[in-house]
Amino acid sequence: MAKPLSISVKETFEELKKLLKSSSPHLSVRVKMLMVIKRSNSLLSKNDLANEIGVNHNSIQKWRRNYLQGGIKKLLADGRVGFKPSVISKSSHEQIRIKLNNPEGAITSFVDLQSWVDSTLEKGINYNTLRHYVKRHFGAKLKVARKSHINKDKQALEAFKKTSGKSARKK
């Protein structure tokens, strides 16, 4: 059986506590590993650390190696790269918002919305991209309230509301 790796944590316990509070959940486990190493009186193997923290031993091995190579900076470096810019521009976003909130607009499905976007705004946006974008930014759902008919006579509606003031139910 191999000897446990000797790691000396340079940061103080108070610094580690501050880092733990300020770091995101997926990085806080790495700080917990350093706290356990700092608190321990004896050398801990990667399996002991993994059992105590509740992660895979391969992750512990990788985190210890990163800490030895580059310190806390390399340990807490997020390996994820930047995110893709949005396919939909800000002006298109605003026009989609206006179109979805327009009661006279006849957008009743994502297919209608996609064809409208293709014809008026930007060509070639994938259906699922547009659907997820609209759900995320505007809270649109597949089942929406029925839209008011485009050719509805608004004056007739107002006249109906004025004349039907009494309840039809008998008491």
**In this predicted model, what pLDDT tens digit does every residue of 33-57 receive, in sequence order?**
999 999 998 899 999 999 999 999 9
Neighbours of 115 (CB within 10 A): 12
Q: Which pair of structure tokens corresponds to residue 45?
A: 């193997």
Residue 98 in domain: yes
Q: What's the pTM? A: 0.49
Helix (H, G, I), strand (E, B) or coil at 50: helix
Question: 96 and 88 in contact (C-beta within 8 Å)?
Answer: yes
Q: What is the DSSP string of 111-136?
A: HHHHHHHHHHT-TT--HHHHHHHHHH
pLDDT for the residue numbered 165 = 63
Residue 7 in domain: no
Same domain, 105 and 62: no
Is it the case that residue 4 has pLDDT exceeding 90? no
Residue 37 in domain: yes
Full domain range(s) for residue 50: 13-75
- Kindly state the average pLDDT of the residues 151-169: 77
Per-residue pLDDT band for 119 (boundaries 50, 70, 90) equals very high
Same domain, 64 and 110: no
Same domain, 17 and 70: yes
- Kindly state the average pLDDT of the residues 9-16: 90
Same domain, 108 and 61: no
* DSSP letter (8 states) at residue 125: -
Q: Average model confidence (pLDDT) for the chain?
A: 85
Is it the case that residue 146 has pLDDT exceeding 70? no
Same domain, 57 and 97: no
| Of 107, 103, 106, 108, the residue nearest 154 (C-alpha) | 103
Same domain, 22 and 58: yes
Higher pLDDT pick, 166 / 43: 43
End-to-end CA distance of the chain: give it in Å, rounded.
Answer: 89
- Kindly state the average pLDDT of the residues 74-90: 82
Same domain, 67 and 94: no
Is it the case that residue 166 has pLDDT exceeding 80? no
d(CA 157, CA 154): 5
Question: 23 and 31 in contact (C-beta within 8 Å)?
Answer: yes
Same domain, 114 and 65: no
Total number of domains in the chain: 2
Residue 36 in domain: yes
Same domain, 20 and 69: yes
Question: 46 and 57 in contact (C-beta within 8 Å)?
Answer: yes
Least confident residue range of 26-40, 87-101, 105-119: 105-119
Residue 81 in domain: no
How far, in whole angstroms, is CA 149 from its chain's centroid? 36
pLDDT for the residue numbered 118 = 93
Residue 110 in domain: yes
Higher pLDDT pick, 6 / 2: 6
Q: How many residues does the chain have?
A: 171
Residue 85 in domain: no
Residue 142 in domain: yes
